[in-house]
Amino acid sequence: MTLTSPHLGSSEAWTDARLLYALEEVVEKELNRHLKVAKDWMPHEYVPFGDGRNFPGFFEDGEAWDPEQSKVTDVGRIALVVNLLTEDNLPSYHHEIATLFGRDGAWGTWVHRWTAEEGRHGIVMRDYLLTSRAVDPDKLEQFRMAHMAEGFESDNRHSMLHSVAYVAFQELATRVSHRNTGHQSGDPVCDRMLARIATDENLHMVFYRNLLGAAFEIAPDLTMQAVRDVVVNFRMPGHGMPGFERAAAQMAIGEIYNMRIHHDDVLQPVLRFLKVMEIDGLGPEGQKAQDELGLYMGVLDAEAAKFDEKLAARKARMAARAGR
């Protein structure tokens, strides 16, 4: 398969439309691979419906929510709300990628397949949270309304290539966040559910990561610049939700998602797999982007080391207090 074109050698020649056309064959290949390895699963099979009971409202036997009813840890509740509100914005995400990637051919098939798979995540998480009474249902709905009413606009909507680079990292970040939330939740049922969701997210990451690798082959300078921009300015898609900064800080302390995890478990695996820092033959702008990317990763690693020290000191203080 030949991906390069003698007429599109310069960066200026690569428009979004030309990149979409040039990558169509890769999208089809990755879509077929994905459909072979992805397994259908039933959201209702992961929800403990037998634990459910009515809430106040139209039911005379309705029982108000109380924190004592929740089986999950405090940080688990925080992370579950953040993760679900992120999944709730699926209509906006679909609009974004359908606009960028189109609804025709292999691109369109992938857009709709991805949306259908992601839809399961919100369904199973909400059913679990309400059935198990893991979180306050009224606050959850209020947060959902506030978050979705604000709408969502991607930082990378200006560029198809930036969007591909972003989701290659973001899908892995979401997978890691879900998996760690399950580990820290304190509820085996929740852990099993989030492990299933994380499996989907990992497959989505592989699709976009491989697509990003193909983009490096046909437009290395532009792709390097896109990766540099995305990594340096990376934000999780839920950054606009109510109370996100406070929740993110608590999730960082709870080791669900923090700078060390972001560096070691999200950015590095993708960069290492694609051998981004080893790509040579770049033009001036591509080389500059690669250098700046390397410098940023070094700074982030140093900042993560400082965070590690603070977290270790905090754990030591808590252990000392517990031992008194």
Annotated binding residues, written as ranges, equal 87, 118, 121, 171, 201, 204
Tokens 């890769």 identify what position?
Answer: 26
Q: Output the known binding site for Fe cation.
A: 87, 118, 121, 171, 201, 204
Tokens 């809430």 identify what position?
Answer: 55
**Burial category of 251 from C-beta neighbours within 10 Å (exposed 0-12, middle 13-18, buried 19 and up):** buried
> Most distant CA pair in the chain: distance in Å?
73
Cα separation, 265 vs 192, in Å, equals: 21
Tokens 């050698």 identify what position?
Answer: 9
Question: Concatenated DSSP letters for 20-39?
Answer: HHHHHHHHHHHHHHHHHH--
**Burial category of 217 from C-beta neighbours within 10 Å (exposed 0-12, middle 13-18, buried 19 and up):** middle
Tokens 């679900």 identify what position?
Answer: 84
Closest by Cα among 175, 176, 154 to 165: 154
